[in-house]
Structure 1
Amino acid sequence: MFSTLLSRALGVALLTLLIGNRVHGAELTPYVPNDIACPPNSFPSFTHNSYAYIAPLHKFNNLTKSFFNIEWYGGIPVTNTTGTDNVPGATRTGPFGGATYNETLTFYRKRSDLFTWSYIGKGLTFTLPPYPTITSYGYAETFLFQSICNGQATYIEVLTFSCSNNQVNNYNLWYTFHNEVFPAMASSLGAPVLAGDCPVN
Structure 2
Amino acid sequence: MSLCAPHAKILLLSSLLLIPTFSSAQTTPNTRTAALSRTAALSLFNKTRPATFKLERTGEGYGTGFFISADGYALTAYHVVEGGTQLSARTSADEVFPLELIGFDAAQDIALVKATSKTPLNFVKVALETPMIGQNVLAIGNSRGDFLQSRVGKLLGLDVDAGRADFPKGALEMNAPLAPGDSGGPIFNVAGEAIGVV
Q: Shorter-chain TM-score: what band?
A: under 0.3
The TM-score, its normalising length taken from structure 2, stands at: 0.26
Return the structure number with greater relative CO, CA threshold 8 A, min gap 6.
Answer: 2
Write 1 or 2 for the structure with the bigger share of helix.
Answer: 1
The TM-score, its normalising length taken from structure 1, stands at: 0.26
